[in-house]
Structure 1
Amino acid sequence: MKNKVPLLDLVAQYKTIKPEINSAIQKILDSGQFILGKEVELLENEIAHYLSVKHGIGVASGTDALILAMQALGIGPGDEVILPTYTFFATMGAVLHVGAVPVLIDIDPQTYCLDVNKLKEAITSTTRAIIPVHLYGHPADMNPILEIAKDNDIKIIEDNAQAFGAEYNGKKTGSFGDIACLSFFPSKNLGGYGDGGMIVTNSQELAEKIRMLRVHGWNKKYYPEVLGYNSRLDALQATVLRVKLQHIDEWNSSRRNLAANYTHKLAPIPGIGTPYENDAVKHVYHLYVIQTENRIQVQNKLKKAGVSSGIYYPQPLHLSKPWQALGHQTPNFPVAQKASQELLAIPIYPEMTPTQVGIILSALQGSK
């Protein structure tokens, strides 16, 4: 039986922009230009303009964006990269792929982003970069991160996969670091109809390196200058994303309104914690995540009411096999471990109907 309220409904979104999407895709089919090309260049420029940065470089995925960003910065074997232990695995996986050493730290108990109070003690003489992740759509606390990085000559790679359009002190996330990485996976606030990603930066030098790295390491075709990759954004994804970019502010506003309604109705319920939003930020609620010690019971109540939910994430990175294979002693990260046991994402997307929201609230109000 189909759920009454899916965790995400991309078909509902498509229906709201169907004529625009169909026309844009037809234009690409008629052009015969499917890899990189003018449509990708236009998207790169539009994303860069939206984020107020100088360069955008389209790549095949958000994971590739992280890998290529580190390659462009010269990060490799022997280098340490600091990141939160509570995030999607790709953030750490990219560090491992370039041969660097991930240094994990615990998260802030309110935002679930990197705990800046744990940052200084994690820095060593071989620390090359910090990857703040703007988790669930809430920006990491960038000012102290930038200050610590500057004092220690460390690069900042923003993982902005989940927070496109979010703001910190009035400035868009993805515009703070030396480099930032975006994901256009279909479930993201700005998502394509397949895999896709982008790297953004204000550095001409880094932009030129990444443009080479994404196409086999060459500037001139068939004449590689470095060992590169095949990581190119295709024109079909770019044209879809260009259509959706025109709607992103409206969609993010709808997410924020839905989140405010959820929080107003759910905050009084004993045993359910609602998301925190720092006064200095604009959260874009890629996910609306509640906290409860009775997660299985709450999830079952939702399921019985026909509501999908999701666990993001059931295992902190320091408990994953790839990290443990490095031979480190397992650290104690109590905040991340608690989050992995208690957080639960409930549906949030702009096309949700009042009826669907009501079903969710009724189920949660009955779970106390």
Structure 2
Amino acid sequence: MIPMLDLRKEFLDIEDEVVGAVIEVLKGTRYVLGPEVEAFERRLAQYHGLSYGAGVGSGTGALFLSLASLPISPGDEIITTPFTFFATVESILYVGAKPVFVDIDNKTLNIDVDLIERKITKKTKAILPVHLFGLPCDMKRIMELAKKYNLYVIEDCAQSFGSSIDGRLTGTFGDAGCFSFYPSKNLGCYGDGGAVVTNNQEMYETILALRNHGSRGNYIHSVVGFNSRLDEIQAAILLIKLDKVGGNNAKRRENAALYTSMLSSTVMCPYIPQGYTSNYHQYTIRSAHRDKIKDALHDADISSVVYYPLPIHLQKPLGQFGFKKGDFPVAETAAAQVLSLPVYPGLSEEAIGRIVQVIQKCL
């Protein structure tokens, strides 16, 4: 059996460090918003070369609280991609805004920057780009548009921890970068967790209050907030894993390069523009015979996953906006063709060779 991700092996490699850190938290009896969270927030901000980091309960919480910290009113519009995890759009709906979708680029599968400007109206308040599968969006051009039209930019970095453009990390271009530490992420904890990084002090202070019922402490509440806090145990684990994420991302890139060297003549492999570095959160191929490949891999006891089978604009909860099939054809075609293969750091060359062999034989 070749799994999509081997979390057991990952844990066993750092078991002593993790167990020791968890025991120290338990002995300290500070379980929520204590010293481990504070230390992780500092390290996270330093890692990105930014001033502030705020730990929150999940990646969804990071997106939502970032938007909630901005002057966005019901009926305002936020531009994003229809090809992403549902949380991206949930966060927009949570603040009462309208998601305005822009189709994706056929090569990168990220939002097509050439199409953004025509979707900007007087109601547009922000752009929410998603660095899908670990590949950064074209942030230079997105920021140029944001400056031209005075828009906020909230980066969805749930899948792109450690990815960069010309050495500059995702999450550092916009007003805020939002991360998920779900266990399957490149930097993942052993439960739910997320964080926001920013250089905007006002935004940072607002998020700190919003994550804790609208209070900075002493039971004094400045706004109606929420309960979205990163706990101490997860922060302690993330501090350990933060030191290892660079090496693990490098191994993912090695695995991806091996895949591409063997599969590029058989299927469409991930496209990486010059100067861009992907963390390969997913290694996602494309083929008109996607389902045939997936079935062949399954029969060979090899895991693969379709991220994502139905674009957001066609999901039932978005029915209120009147989107229909054909509105975003590139995203719809991609959804019918994409298949993500195992690419985790502990994956052996032998396993990659076996996966490639099954795909080539199948086609």
Give the TM-score category using the shorter length.
over 0.9
C-alpha spacing 1:329/1:349, structure 2 compared with 1 (3 Å):
closer
**Partners of 1:305 and 1:359 within 8 A in 2:** no
CA distance in 1, matches of 2:67, 2:53: 16
**Partners of 2:193 and 2:230 within 8 A in 1:** yes
C-alpha spacing 1:6/1:328, structure 2 compared with 1 (3 Å):
closer
Q: Match of 1:346?
A: 341
Q: Match of 2:103?
A: 106
CA deviation vs aligned residue, 1:294-322 (integer Å, no higher than 9, x gap): 11110011111110000000011110111
1:217: Cα distance to partner?
Answer: 0.4
**160, 171, 174: which one pairs with 2:171?**
174
Pair 1:213-2:192 in alignment: no
Q: Match of 2:245?
A: 248
**82, 86, 89: which one pairs with 2:83?**
86
SS of alignment partner, residue 366 of structure 1: helix
**19, 24, 48: which one pairs with 1:22?**
19
Q: Match of 1:146?
A: 143
Q: Match of 2:271?
A: 276
CA distance in 2, matches of 1:324, 1:149: 28
Q: Match of 1:61?
A: 58
Poorly superposed stretches of 4+, deviation over 6 Å: none
CA distance in 2, matches of 1:302, 1:152: 47
1:355: Cα distance to partner?
Answer: 2.7
Pair 1:222-2:219 in alignment: yes
List runs of 5+ in structure 1 lacking aligned partners.
Answer: none
CA distance in 1, matches of 2:36, 2:313: 40
**Partners of 2:74 and 2:97 within 8 A in 1:** yes
Pair 1:70-2:67 in alignment: yes
C-alpha spacing 1:129/1:304, structure 2 compared with 1 (3 Å):
same
Q: Match of 2:307?
A: 312
Q: Match of 2:117?
A: 120
**Partners of 2:309 and 2:335 within 8 A in 1:** yes
CA distance in 1, matches of 2:298, 2:343: 16
SS of alignment partner, residue 310 of structure 2: coil
1:125: Cα distance to partner?
Answer: 0.2
1:330: Cα distance to partner?
Answer: 5.7
**Partners of 2:76 and 2:124 within 8 A in 1:** yes
1:198: Cα distance to partner?
Answer: 0.3
Q: TM-score, normalised by structure 2?
A: 0.98
Q: Match of 1:160?
A: 157
Equivalent AA in structure 1 for residue 329 of structure 2: P
**Partners of 1:318 and 1:331 within 8 A in 2:** no
Equivalent AA in structure 1 for residue 166 of structure 2: N
1:329: Cα distance to partner?
Answer: 5.8
Q: What pairs with 1:313-332 in structure 2 (closer than 5 Å)?
A: 313-328=308-323, 332=327
User: How many residues get paired?
Assistant: 363
For the aligned residues, what is the CA RMSD?
1.0
SS of alignment partner, residue 160 of structure 2: coil
CA deviation vs aligned residue, 1:166-217 (integer Å, no higher than 9, x gap): 0012100010001111000000000000000001110111110010001110
1:359: Cα distance to partner?
Answer: 1.8
1:102: Cα distance to partner?
Answer: 0.4
List runs of 5+ in structure 2 lacking aligned partners.
Answer: none
SS of alignment partner, residue 153 of structure 2: strand
**293, 301, 304: which one pairs with 1:298?**
293
Equivalent AA in structure 2 for residue 90 of structure 1: A
**Partners of 2:255 and 2:349 within 8 A in 1:** no
SS of alignment partner, residue 136 of structure 1: helix
**332, 339, 348: which one pairs with 1:337?**
332
Q: Match of 1:239?
A: 236
Pair 1:360-2:355 in alignment: yes
Equivalent AA in structure 2 for residue 367 of structure 1: C
Equivalent AA in structure 2 for residue 39 of structure 1: E
SS of alignment partner, residue 189 of structure 2: coil
CA deviation vs aligned residue, 1:123-154 (integer Å, no higher than 9, x gap): 00010000010000000001110000100000
CA deviation vs aligned residue, 1:68-98 (integer Å, no higher than 9, x gap): 0011012230210000010001000110011
CA distance in 1, matches of 2:339, 2:324: 29
CA distance in 2, matches of 1:103, 1:11: 40
Equivalent AA in structure 1 for residue 120 of structure 2: I
Q: What pairs with 1:259-270 in structure 2 (closer than 5 Å)?
A: 259-269=256-266
CA distance in 2, matches of 1:133, 1:266: 26
Pair 1:184-2:181 in alignment: yes
Pair 1:196-2:178 in alignment: no
**31, 35, 47: which one pairs with 2:32?**
35
Pair 1:135-2:140 in alignment: no
